[in-house]
Structure 1
Amino acid sequence: MLHLYNSFFSSSILHKSHHTKKLVQSFHLYRDSMLCDVEACLFVWVPVKEIKESGEHPGSIVIKHFFNELTFICATEDYGYFLKVMKVKSVGNGKLSKYSTHLMFPVTFFCRTFLPKTGEVLVGIVIKVCMQGVFLKCGPMNSIYLGRRKMPNYNYVPGENPFFLSDDQSRIENEVAVRFVVFAERWSTTNVRKFDLLASIEGDSLGPVSLNGFDGLEL
């Protein structure tokens, strides 16, 4: 089982700048390339005052905080992006820290994650074009860079709406779908929890494609 430990409190006040400790264990139910279904446990902190005064069922309050925290965590270096929660399995008993005004509840759930891997082929949508290359988004990722050196036979065409044009007249421009291979990936060192990917269209069957609204990642 995958466990997520969150250090939320400082001087008895929760902050959104909390950190997620290293995942210590995981139980993989299903893996298909970069997609993986896992059973996981997230420890959720809930103010005691909210449970006493809200009038809501404690379980409902915990679940609300659970989804908020999972959305904030977004991704981890070891297991990738949390795409969706398929089922909440259980909510454990809350434990009160001696000097805390919050209860900690273990929430066990089944979820699908996405971990980008070097060498895998994806399809992304162009969201920005510049002289040195283009940026793409694919599923939860919007930090995918395709440099002009990895676009053989494409030349930059400047203008109000710049684009790259190939020898066979195919274009790479904003909102165009591009099939690419991941040739490098790294966990971001910024405060944003995300992966930065470098893409390439060197190879057969890579480059602009028609997807009819598909965003490149089938969940």
Structure 2
Amino acid sequence: MNAFVLAGGRSLRMGRDKALLEVNGRPLIELALEKLRELGFTPRIAGLRPDLEGFAPVVFDRQGGGDERCGPLAGIEAALAASDEEVNLFLPVDLPLLPGAFLRWLARRAETTQAPATIPTVNGRAQPLCSVYRRELLPGLSEALREGRYRVMTAVEEAAQGARGRMDVFDVEAVAAALQAGEWPQERPVYEWFRNLNAPDDVAAVEQTAPSIHHAGH
């Protein structure tokens, strides 16, 4: 399995570069990469970000000619094309509260089910940027980009229709309630794991929630 951090957006709502935004003194891109490295991966960065090559190798979007309307779908498509493994884990750059233990469990689930897409949901909302995708989705995702269909969840659903098996879309909170104590970290509620950093106020809220983020995978 390969692992990628999605870091290609313009961060318009944030008003500044999100990947290099610091939370408790550390840039988000560093925190995201560290999570994956602590799980044994050698992660790469997917997106239009040559300035991040000092943190990890960057896989550049293949389609759209740099058109940012393609969004994270272009990063996922490029990563799948560049990967030498069938199974690929994706983590967006702006989830500093997500425990590495959950990513480990997500990866194991995807390898067990062998579903073309393994996608968590929280409060009824799918999290397609924090998911596991198999390379068999690549033709469908490439077609969606060529046709100007950039919504990730829709593109993945349509690509999966041409793949073998069914997508695995599961409710994180329902699974957490069924697991034995200790299988997932319990330091904070599950709904906080997927708190995106989209605006300056979000950063302050996250720093108050996790004032001691140092080793993001723990």
TM tier relative to shorter chain:
under 0.3
Normalising by structure 1, we get a TM-score of: 0.21
Higher helix fraction: Structure 1 or Structure 2? 2
Higher strand fraction: Structure 1 or Structure 2? 1
The structure whose RCO (Cα within 8 Å, separation 6+) is larger is 2
